[in-house]
Structure 1
Amino acid sequence: QRLESLISKGGDKRAHMIQFSATPIPRTQAMMDSALLDVSLITTTPFEKNITTQTISKPDFPALLAHIKAEIAQEHQVLIIYPLVEESSEVPYQSLEESRGFWESKFEDVYVTHGKDRDKEEVLLEFREKGNILLATTVVEVGISLPKLTLIVIVGAERLGLATLHQLRGRVGRNGLKSWCYLYSNAPANERLVQFSQTTNGFDIAKLDLKFRNSGDILDGTIQSGQKFRWLDMAEDEAVVAAAQRRVSSIVSQSS
């Protein structure tokens, strides 16, 4: 109804552009908070997801391995996301190609795909029907639905943005099954990951992203994050922003 109203409005109030986002970038979130954008929120989901998110590191690997075996024993599927396809001295984590031998030696029906894989769609379709473990890069952030997926491990999670982490986590639990998202990191106490693990709400995650990355230039638009006002923090000073909005609304109503 809200969308129909925006489209059907005439004159100067008719919308010229409509944006859709599950997790707005920091600048967009700041513009929403400061009322520079007219916003409608969809706060309901098709079904409630039950996903537990946890940061883990190397000492937790034996327990992770046991959990993976338990999920596969229940005919569920596991997704493991690697930061790179091939080894790099600049990244302190194993790559997909370095790790695949281990997983293939421990489990049957291990599938592998990545962005350069021309057969990616075919691999995903075959994994959906017959696979136990899928090793991949963030190429699976969106795409083919995998209804039996109940466990995802994101290696080097601190290297990814919160929106990407949220999209990847959203790959599990799509049929209502109890699911888990493990954020594997050499810095498990990373505050950004800790706070991310405490919510599955896309709006809250967008606000976290604003908090950690800052709003950028909300007027010019050339800088999407990384800068903030000298005397105002859009993520922390919500009460101040709300008071300013009320004051502006009062002035506008009095002058009209």
Structure 2
Amino acid sequence: GYGGQAKLIPHFLSMSATPIPRTLALTIYGDLDLSLIKEMPKGRKKIITKVIPPEKRQEAYDFIRSEVQSGRQVFVICPRIEPNELGEEAIASSLPFARLRLARVADVKAVKQEYEKLRKDVFPDLNVGMLHGKMKTEEKEKALTDFRERKTDILVSTSVIEVGIDFPNAAIMMIEGSDKFGLAQLHQFRGRVGRGEHQSYCFLFSEFRSNPRLKAMVVSQDGFELAEKDLKLRGPGDLTGQRQWGFPDFVMASLKNIELVEKTREAAKKILTKDPELKKYPLLRGKLEEFREKIHLE
């Protein structure tokens, strides 16, 4: 090791709870040691994930009621805040090829609508709360405080609870219109439960039970594995979302090929070993400088 040390002590540690495909990790963090924490915290159990078709909805409701009666709490996620403004007349007057799609869009679950339905019709005997991004700050804080203090049994929300929420007593994640979300987001939602000692469940409500993303969620809880699956399903364009990761689209089909990525890394190392400042490669050096100005990789 350098200076007689067997191994240098790192002076930089970057942590992320959001997994990305292994090939992308090798490309971006190629000069760093990548460590994965796969062990679950002591006392936690594997989350049971199921796709719930329309005909099984009442059965799921009955199970949720029994869990709440046992002291557990529930998250209900909806893709929208307000019901879609498309009315029956607008759908009926549309061209035939667009009618089915518009009907599906109009049927997407909305938080306010679902909150009223669950509160009045499905669970009138339970305490149902609501949370979404358009609420005032004090209203959002009260909704979360009531849930934390167990004054609320069921919290109907948008994706605002995707990260930064830790309620160990929440044991059920119920996701309406689950096929409308990406794999990474579904994985994040599921991570909001299973944070205590109780058995937890993630119910993916959808009429499309053969959806490949939902199938992947059922069979795997490994974030990196799901990220690889997401890459295969969506392609390399906008791999993780520019807004979340801070870099633009990678239009590189080769990111699916881990062998090619590893060979490319080795070739890059050889070039940098012989020519660290890339004096013989002005075009490459220029591209790297341009990349550094635009991208923040930490």
Q: Does the pair score TM above 0.5?
A: yes
Query: Structure 1 CA distance, aligned partners of 2:79 and 2:269?
Result: 50
- Rounded to whole Å, the distance in 1 between the matches of 2:234 and 2:9 is 34
Matches within 5 A, 1:49-128: 49-88=45-84, 89=86, 90-105=105-120, 106=123, 107-118=125-136, 119-128=139-148
Runs (5+) with no aligned partner, structure 1: 8-14
Deviation at 1:199, TM superposition (A): 1.2
* Cα distance, 1:166–1:239 mapped onto 2, change above 3 Å: same
For 1:182-233, what per-residue CA distance to the aligned partner results, in whole angstroms no more than 9, with x for missing partners? 1112312101220122111122122122222223489xx96435x433xx4x
| CA distance, structure 2, for counterparts of residue 144 and residue 32 of structure 1 | 26
Instruction: Tell me the distance in 1 between the aligned counterparts of 2:172 and 2:192.
Output: 9
Aligned runs of 1:1-256 on 2, under 5 Å? Answer: 5-7=9-11, 19-25=14-20, 29-34=22-27, 37=30, 38-43=32-37, 44-47=39-42, 48-88=44-84, 89=86, 90-105=105-120, 106=123, 107-118=125-136, 119-129=139-149, 130-216=151-237, 223-224=248-249, 227-229=251-253, 232=254, 234-235=255-256, 237-242=257-262, 244=263, 248=267
Deviation at 1:30, TM superposition (A): 3.3
Mapped partners of 1:124, 1:247: distance in 2 = 49
Moved more, 244-253 or 145-154: 244-253
How many corresponding residue pairs?
A: 234
**Residues 248, 96 of structure 1: CA spacing in aligned structure 2 closer, same or farther, 3 A cutoff?**
same
**Deviations 1:146-204 (Å, cap 9, x if unpaired)?**
11111111111122122211111011110131111011123121012201221111221
- Secondary structure at the aligned position of 1:183 is classed as strand
Flag the 1:69–1:240 CA change in 2: closer, same or farther, 3 A.
same
- CA positional deviation for 1:247: 6.0
CA-based RMSD of the aligned residues comes to: 3.0
Please tell me whether Structure 1 or Structure 2 has the larger radius of gyration of its CA atoms.
2
> Which structure has more RCO (C-alpha within 8 Å, separation ≥ 6)?
1
Q: CA separation of 1:247/1:92 partners in 2, compared to 1, >3 Å: closer, same or farther?
A: same
1:53-95 Cα deviation digits (max 9, x unpaired)? 1112211101111111110111101110011111113343231
Q: Distance in 2 between matches of 1:81 and 1:136?
A: 5
3-state SS in 1 of match to 2:9: helix
Kept in 2: contact 1:112–1:123 (CA 8 A)? yes
Larger helix share, 1 or 2 = 2
Residue identity matched to 1:228:
M
The structure-2 alpha-carbon separation of the partners of 1:5 and 1:212, relative to structure 1 and needing over 3 Å to count, comes to farther
**Identity score, percent:** 30
1:166/1:202 contact within 8 Å kept: yes
Mark the runs of 5 or more structure 2 residues left unpaired by the alignment. Answer: 1-7, 87-104, 240-245, 276-298
Q: TM-score, normalised by structure 2?
A: 0.68
Change (3 A) 1:33 1:214: farther
TM-score by length of 1: 0.78
Amino acid of the structure 2 residue aligned with 1:124: L
